């Protein structure tokens, strides 16, 4: 089974323009992600998918293959799909370009899920939900069935309870790393957005709408995403 990792990296972020190239303790943010991905011995090839020549130039400096895409890809998954059209692989991991602390502890469970069950459509990660994230709309929650497959993802507290919501309930906090089979990646990106996806602004709901089984692997530690300059400052302080 050929496993590849693709890091979609967009320069024109609305909230943080040029984010992949910003400096974090002496290295561009994207370099942290590439080096973290390289700690996995289960990934056979790593690519960066981008629409920007400045990011392409960084890829040359840090010796990682770069795949150029058009600028109007609506999501990172669409960018991954366009970039991998002519590649030979069985499973592709979508690694977020703004997760500088990513490493094999997060990547390997996704790969192992496919090694154990090559018939999977998708796999993703989640970790225990903290009390402060219950009402945080930026903290995506996921609930699973007895087979650790996703039932639903939401920005709201799920499952709904008429009683006081318990943060130690069945919901976990979703981590936005994905592994796709090649066949399901094609189906996903060839399908229009579903109404539930547009309602919650969560692309993984398109996969559920299409009938996919999404394996949810539990990890104990959260990742740290950089969405804004303030997030970067907080991470710099934490790394000190």
Each residue's pLDDT tens digit, 150-188? 999 999 988 876 666 555 678 999 999 999 999 999 999
Q: Tens of pLDDT along 207-217?
A: 999 999 999 99
At 45 the three-state DSSP class reads strand
With a cut of 90, say whether residue 13 has pLDDT above it: no
Per-residue pLDDT, 71: 84
Is 224 within 8 Å of 100 (Cβ atoms)? yes
With a cut of 90, say whether residue 130 has pLDDT above it: no
Half-sphere exposure of 188 (CA within 13 A, CB side): 29
For range 186-210, the mean pLDDT? 94
- β-bridge partners, 145: none
Per-residue pLDDT, 132: 86
Banded model confidence at residue 16, pLDDT cuts 50, 70, 90 = confident
With a cut of 80, say whether residue 105 has pLDDT above it: yes
Per-residue pLDDT, 138: 84
Domain boundaries 3-234, CATH class:
alpha beta
Per-residue pLDDT, 15: 77
Containing 27, the helix (H) or strand (E) segment is strand 27-28
Tokens for 101?
Answer: 């602390």
Banded model confidence at residue 76, pLDDT cuts 50, 70, 90 = confident
How many H-runs (helices) and E-runs (strands) does the chain carry? 8, 11
Question: Strand 3-9 and strand 91-94: pairing?
Answer: parallel
Please classify residue 35 by burial: count the beta carbons closer than 10 Å to its beta carbon, then call 0-12 exposed, 13-18 middle and 19+ buried.
Answer: middle
Banded model confidence at residue 87, pLDDT cuts 50, 70, 90 = very high
Distance of CA 143 to the CA centre of its chain: 17
Containing 154, the helix (H) or strand (E) segment is strand 150-154
Per-residue pLDDT, 161: 66
Give the angle 173-177-183 at the CA atoms, nearest 5°.
125
Give the angle 41-45-50 at the CA atoms, nearest 5°.
130
Per-residue pLDDT, 102: 96
**Percentage above 90 pLDDT, the chain:** 76
Per-residue pLDDT, 167: 55
Per-residue pLDDT, 227: 84
Q: How far apart are the first and last CA of the chain?
A: 40
- pTM exceeds 0.85: yes
Question: Strand 45-50 and strand 3-9: pairing?
Answer: parallel
Q: Which residue has the tokens 């009390």?
A: 131
Helix 182-189 vs helix 76-83: crossing angle, to nearest 10: 120
Per-residue pLDDT, 40: 97
């Amino acid at each position: 089974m050929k496993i590849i990792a693709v890091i979609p990296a967009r320069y024109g972020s609305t909230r943080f323009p040029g984010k992949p190239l910003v400096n974090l303790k002496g290295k561009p943010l994207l370099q942290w992600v590439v080096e973290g991905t390289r700690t996995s011995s289960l990934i056979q090839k790593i690519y960066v998918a981008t629409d920007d020549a400045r990011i392409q130039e960084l890829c040359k400096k840090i010796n990682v293959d770069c795949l150029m895409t058009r600028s109007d890809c609506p999501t990172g998954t669409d960018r991954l799909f366009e970039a991998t059209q002519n590649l030979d692989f069985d499973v592709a991991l979508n690694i977020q370009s703004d997760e500088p602390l990513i490493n094999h502890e997060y990547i390997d469970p996704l790969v192992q899920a496919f090694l154990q069950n090559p018939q999977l459509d998708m796999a993703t990660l989640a970790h225990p939900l903290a009390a402060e994230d219950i009402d945080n709309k930026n903290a995506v929650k996921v609930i699973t069935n007895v087979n650790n497959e996703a039932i639903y993802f939401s920005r709201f507290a799920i499952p709904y309870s008429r009683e006081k919501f318990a943060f130690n309930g069945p919901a976990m906090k979703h981590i936005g790393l994905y592994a796709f089979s090649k066949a399901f990646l094609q189906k996903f990106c060839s399908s229009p957005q579903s109404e539930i996806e547009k309602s919650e602004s969560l692309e993984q709901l398109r996969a559920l709408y299409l009938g996919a089984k999404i394996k949810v692997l539990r990890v104990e530690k959260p990742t740290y995403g950089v969405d804004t300059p303030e997030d970067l400052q907080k991470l710099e302080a934490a790394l000190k």
